Structure 1
């Protein structure tokens, strides 16, 4: 099995489990919406940047942001650096889902550590962080 697939399968599992935990806690959100939402920066993000980071078209990102806005997870606000532009910013409602997602992530990491051992889990994290240095354009 190639390394891309070996990385993708656990990543997909993390996404699926976190989404399941968040939706079970009463947050009505889809995987596509979550992928856009988790890319909104702390001070807000322009729609074009969200589209690029989520690897979707600007139209798709706009549609997903419209849905998120209607559900109360994001708001559009003026960009203080450019009066013509708008920023997408998360709301308090979206921030309420963060502890749910964080708790599920902690459970996943604990399960993985139990399965592969503490030393390997530490090595895995270190290796992935190092790979992020050369693969993450948003770092």
Structure 2
């Protein structure tokens, strides 16, 4: 149980970021092809992209980056032969980002590495803790704009 004084604890956001980097670094190392080219951000994009493709704006939103940043990453991965940008059959105004066959292979590899890392984490900290962590992270956290700073400052 946490103490009343949280000043000695690291912020939860920092711990989550460190955990995210642990996963992302391992996935990136497995995706590199010797010539480089696949960055941690690229690995995140490959794991987040719907296998059936998705509009660039949806991809940016899902990754939590700006549309120009997503656009740049997509075109870098397209240059590596992992993605294509094609007309959206549902909307003449937008384009879909889709995986190439090589991109599908890399995405599958990334997801397999994530599964292996989750199993490794269960070995390190225990399956029950990993299950509890997953359960907590799968909960709907709500909109960040709805967070009332006065209630959290009062310990409510």
TM-score class, shorter: 0.7 to 0.9
- State the partner residue of 2:27: 18
Task: Give TM-score scaled by structure 1 length.
Answer: 0.80
Q: How does 1:1-139 map to 2 (within 5 A)?
A: 1-23=10-32, 28-130=37-139, 133-134=140-141
Residues in 1 aligned to 2:12 and 2:57: alpha-carbon distance in whole angstroms: 30
How far apart, in 2, do the equivalents of 1:25 and 1:135 lie?
Answer: 41
Unaligned runs of 5+ in 1: none
Deviation at 1:91, TM superposition (A): 1.2
TM-score, structure 2 as length reference: 0.73
Larger Rg: 2
Residues 64-117 of structure 1: per-residue CA shift (max 9 Å, x gap): 211111211111111111123211111110111234223322332222212222
RMSD of aligned C-alpha atoms?
Answer: 2.5
Unaligned runs of 5+ in 2: 1-9, 145-156
